[in-house]
Structure 1
């Protein structure tokens, strides 16, 4: 029998113990990456069917289902500026089978609502897309640029009104921020939906709205509305003549709405990373990019960590706007 000295014996025992511990840990760890998903996945959209958020979610989830080999069921649970459906997912089991789509309003709501959930109840997954907003104004308003709009507003105090789909919406906060930065006193007019906004904008009953490009742009092409700027960091590729807010005298004015995917806190990290990686690839597929573009969206993708930083940034930004503008639920 070979003789093993004391030093070699200690090294052998240490190595054996380390291997045994590794095997034990591997056996005890849940095999999410190998087994998941074993059944259908639910994605809650806390908005009505057929809207922009719903459209983006369904485009991406159809592709995700193909990649994962399991159905991804999109359920609409609208109400209370998205807080009803979002709260449902906050209470869901964090097993990788329930997700929720959130907009930039997710970072506004804590400043306006008493919520039954907090950011700590969620795990950011993927920043799917941005939704740039465009400043559309009534054709009868005697302005053709952002500088002319500011000049008109200062010469006609309290004459300007701006529409939104409701208190706390992206259009509301963007309009409020524009008023603050321009030094204008404007009146906010909340509506229930986009259709009545367009009706009143076309008939000059409201001065302006920050809105996605999809529907109002057709009226610009018919000379029934005017568009002055886009809130994105760069110009819209299909409409390169529309300047950004930054180019129009408001440096750093970037206030996109956005669509992101979240999971209940505690959802396994490997599942979060898998979904994030798949979505990052999906939104860059040619057909998805075209569908997004046709709906007014810009594909983003990105990691859970990047989405976490976006949420922190926008929460601070919107909180400051709400405070400075004195915004309260009506």
Structure 2
């Protein structure tokens, strides 16, 4: 039996709408909602909420406006949501939300000012090498790194990104020394990988899979604890040579803590209801996203566990924000 993922363990509950008090819940929202995305337009997190927004608006009886507030690894937009004082503001976050407390010791907001609303999706990363690489599998990569300490390079989209952290955790668990090569975004990183200037990368399935399908990259494994739905024949890193390894880049919705519980529960029900829709699931699959099981309670537990996990990785590897 494959090792269960931390996400599955903490969020094993079905996508079911919670019971809420109708009178209080139905009074909210009283006007259009604002959803802050703390990253630029065009990324997976932005695409997710824009896919969900029409269904959520229909379920809630009010439209959702998406507002991109990028900068400082997501902390600027997160601060804006935490300090909004507005019961009609929500926040979409990624795994970076659990990493940032370790990367930014003086965050401009208190994590307790935000509470879980609903899990949304996971977008797996793939461990990939150029098609011409002599490295054929995960065990071969570990062996090569052991033969030449520091000689194997791995590209990332920047310091502290999930792509970087996936490589740092891999090196730590394998007990090898690999050289991190940060870029300003996934695009230039994968361009150098395709050219053979770096040895490997733990890239998002969204950007890596087309190059794998086109024969320009070789996928060695998925970083997730469970196999990626987009590539079910591909083993996980844990299955392929590093038991216990798991990096599940997740995305979720939070709210300022002063949003009343009935309102949070209504939003949770709307999100989980949208994720059950076959059309929405198909659209998410088109950007490499897999709906994440669970509810607000399991998401709150996941955030706490991930915050502890990545603090250890960041400290051990000496990772600093760009």
Does TM, scored on the shorter chain, surpass 0.5?
yes
1:148 is aligned to 2:131: no
- Helix, strand or coil: the match of 1:282? helix
Instruction: Give the aligned partner of residue 204 of structure 1.
Output: 196
**Selected match of 1:236 from 203, 228, 234:** 228
1:1-330 map, 5 Å: 32-95=24-87, 97-113=88-104, 114-330=106-322
Superposed CA RMSD:
1.6
Higher relative contact order at CA 8 Å, sep ≥6: structure 1 or structure 2? Answer: 2
Structure 2: distance between partners of 1:199 and 1:191: 10
- Helix, strand or coil: the match of 1:159? coil
Structure 1: which 5+ residue stretches go unaligned? 1-28
What's the TM-score once normalised by structure 2's chain length?
0.90
Deviations 1:115-168 (CA, angstroms, capped at 9, x unpaired) = 111211101111111111110112232111100111111112211111111111
Structure 2: distance between partners of 1:140 and 1:186: 20
Q: Given that residues 231 and 254 in structure 1 are in contact (C-alpha distance below 8 angstroms), is that contact kept between their aligned partners in structure 2?
A: yes
What's the TM-score once normalised by structure 1's chain length?
0.88
Instruction: Give the aligned partner of residue 9 of structure 2.
Output: none
Q: Given that residues 173 and 245 in structure 2 are in contact (C-alpha distance below 8 angstroms), is that contact kept between their aligned partners in structure 1?
A: no
Q: Given that residues 163 and 204 in structure 2 are in contact (C-alpha distance below 8 angstroms), is that contact kept between their aligned partners in structure 1?
A: no
Structure 2: which 5+ residue stretches go unaligned? 1-20
Structure 1: distance between partners of 2:54 and 2:247: 28
Deviations 1:300-327 (CA, angstroms, capped at 9, x unpaired) = 2532111100001100110110111121
Structure 2: distance between partners of 1:251 and 1:273: 37
Which structure 1 residue ranges, 4+ long, deviate > 3 Å from structure 2? none
Q: How many residues align?
A: 301
C-alpha displacement of 1:252: 2.1
